[in-house]
Amino acid sequence: MNTGTPKGSGPAPHRTTTASKGATRHNHIIEEIRLLIVGGRWPPGFQLPIETELADQYGVSRMTMNKALGQLARDGYLVRRKKSGTQVAQPRAESVVMAIADIRDEVLGSGRAYRFTLIERRLRPGRPDDAQLVGAAIGGTEVLWLEGLHLADDRPFCLETRLINPATADGAAGQDFSTLAPGAWLLHAVPWSVASHRVRAVNAGASDAKLLELAVGEACLEIVRRTTVATEWVTGVRLLYPGSDHQLVANFSPEAGPGPASSAP
Amino acid sequence: MNTGTPKGSGPAPHRTTTASKGATRHNHIIEEIRLLIVGGRWPPGFQLPIETELADQYGVSRMTMNKALGQLARDGYLVRRKKSGTQVAQPRAESVVMAIADIRDEVLGSGRAYRFTLIERRLRPGRPDDAQLVGAAIGGTEVLWLEGLHLADDRPFCLETRLINPATADGAAGQDFSTLAPGAWLLHAVPWSVASHRVRAVNAGASDAKLLELAVGEACLEIVRRTTVATEWVTGVRLLYPGSDHQLVANFSPEAGPGPASSAP
DNA sequence: TGCGCTGATATGTCTAAGCATATATGGCAG
DNA sequence: CTGCCATATATGCTTAGACATATCAGCGCA
């Protein structure tokens, strides 16, 4: 039942029409099965043949078949349990993954010129209410407070308010950030940190509206990102976008993305 | 060293301290290397020893080491190129993945009671401006138009406006959706579709505000989701959340999530 | 000096085989 | 009929070996 694509006895080049690039055997099998699933031919709950049988059908060893099925399971398309065999997973909920792009890339990607201007920069002792932005208790230590504006074609694009921990972000105190966005600098200075994000809609306050050249009360998209390394907070940032001309976009199948893919350039 | 744990020679406990659950060898290695990377000990660009050497160090075969490194590369932590070897990836941009939860799960997860009420339901010919919601040209065919309200503890939580294509969503015309949210029904009826998402902040209009019991102009989070199977549109939906009490949350490391994981039910 | 070829190298892929482990199922005892 | 245990089964994991492929580096030739 299904896929006439059986083994091709022997090494058999076995070039399929839509070969594309990563034309390894298991990638080929993965793609074929994935299409059966998203095409609806294998509905959720569908019981697949056992590994050895599928391996036979596709003319590969069990190891190769295992790799293919394992990746499909890792990507959420299949559920595998010992003894019970392999089934097509239930697409759980209407969940989705969504990427928040880097601001500079986003502006440049839309064909506009990018610029960052610093509005204010202050090195001051931490205050209790700073905890709201960084998500951690702030001792009496010094923190670096910044406010700046990202511009697209010299028009306000995003208002950034940021706290940096000089203790963990080495060299931050020596940076003036007059034209270099702190996010870009931190990316190099604090590699592979862990971040949590929060996205909300808020009405623009008086000061926000003035800086973004909006009417007071206009809807804005607010993103708060808190970054930590190990147990120490590194930075907390609030990004405010005019709701009218900004949006997050994702284009994925439910459950799991197409995989960021290792893919070197 | 090694061969310490080959097949025959006994089960070879070799229990590591922080065993945790998926204590297979390659999972163990993956976690160990991941910690070296996010802990900053292996900075971006760091050149790892070659596969065979690492395999020796960890006392496993090259295949097992390959599996570990391959998964780390798939997850975006490493970049591997032939001849050049393996390096720690540059955490690209401040991108992030973010999950949009199912509405019902979200409400129940916050400890509140969930309810859905249908406001209006109409079966009518498609109109040109429908294309805006579903992202595809609408022929003269019939479409199902719905408006409903998701409630948390009997207070408005989310306003849903939806178009359904009866041609692809089999049985939709026979459903009345009086209490069952169309999203929940579609999940069973149209498995493994592909969706695109858009998130914006908007000011509540007069009718929206009334239904959500908000003041006109209050900031709301708007999510538009378009679902397709193969080349046919299935449904388009606009979800409007009061910005004040709703937010999207993600808790991930940059570049790639912790993997949706296979996760059985 | 500059260009192209060649070999070395590291990863990528695949195979066949075996042991490990969870679990569904059926048989047996109470 | 009920509850427990042995067994069969399907996936999970690991290994050693082999071949494929991309690419860097150095050498030789013009």
The reported pLDDT for the residue numbered B17 is: 34
Check whether A219 has a pLDDT greater than 50. yes
Residue A81's nearest nucleotide, by CA–C1', is: D11
| Average pLDDT across chain B, whole number | 82
Chain C nucleotides covered by protein, CB below 7 Å: 8-24
Q: Is the pLDDT of residue B258 over 80?
A: no
Span A124-154, pLDDT tens digits: 999 999 999 998 888 778 999 999 999 999 9
Q: What is the pLDDT of residue B138?
A: 82
Question: Is residue A145 within 8 Å of residue A124, measured between CB atoms?
Answer: yes
Residue of A nearest to B260 (CA): A256
Give me chain A's average pLDDT, please.
Answer: 82
* pTM of the shown model: 0.79
Residue A101 has pLDDT above 90, yes or no: no
How far CA B77 is from CA of A73, A99, A113, A260, B91, in Å, comes to 20, 17, 31, 10, 8
Answer for A25: CB within 7 Å of strand C. yes
Q: Are B162 and B180 contacting, i.e. CB atoms less than 8 angstroms apart?
A: no
Distance from CA of B123 to the nearest CA of A (A): 24
CA distance A179 to A114: 11
pLDDT tens per residue across span B168-187? 888 898 899 999 999 989 88
CA atom of A91 to C1′ atom of C27, Å: 39
Whether B203 sits inside 8 A of A193 (CB atoms) is: no
Confidence label for B265 from pLDDT (cuts 50, 70 and 90) = very low
For the CA of B73 and the C1' of D28, the distance in angstroms is 39
pLDDT tops 70 at residue A6: no
**What does the pLDDT read at residue B254?**
44
Q: What is the pLDDT of residues B198-256, one digit of tens each?
A: 889 999 999 999 999 999 999 999 999 998 887 889 999 999 999 877 777 766 544 43
User: Is residue B263 predicted with pLDDT exceeding 50?
Assistant: no
| Residues of A with Cβ-Cβ distance to B78 under 8 angstroms | 262
A94, A174 Cβ separation under 8 angstroms: no
| Residue A54, pLDDT above cutoff 50 | yes
Q: Does residue A57 lie within 7 Å of nucleic acid chain D, judged by its CB?
A: no
Query: Is the CB of A197 less than 8 angstroms away from the CB of B225?
Result: no
CA atom of B240 to C1′ atom of D19, Å: 57
Q: Is the separation of the CB atoms in A20 and A71 below 8 Å?
A: no
Residues 137-156 on chain A lying near strand C, CB distance under 7 A: none
Q: How confident is the model at residue B22 (pLDDT cuts 50, 70, 90)?
A: low
Helices and strands of chain B, counted as H and E runs: 7, 9
H or E element in which residue B149 lies: strand B142-152
B97 touches strand C (CB under 7 A): no
Q: How far is the CA of B98 from the C1' of C2 (A)?
A: 52
Q: What is the pLDDT of residue A97?
A: 66
Contact A256 B260 (CB under 8 A): yes
- Closest to B224 in 3D by CA, of B142, B161, B169, B181: B161
Chain Cα centroid distance, residue B247: 15
Which of A158-162, B17-21, B62-66 shows the lowest mean pLDDT across its residues?
A: B17-21
Please determine, for residue A238, whether its predicted confidence score (pLDDT) is greater than 70.
yes
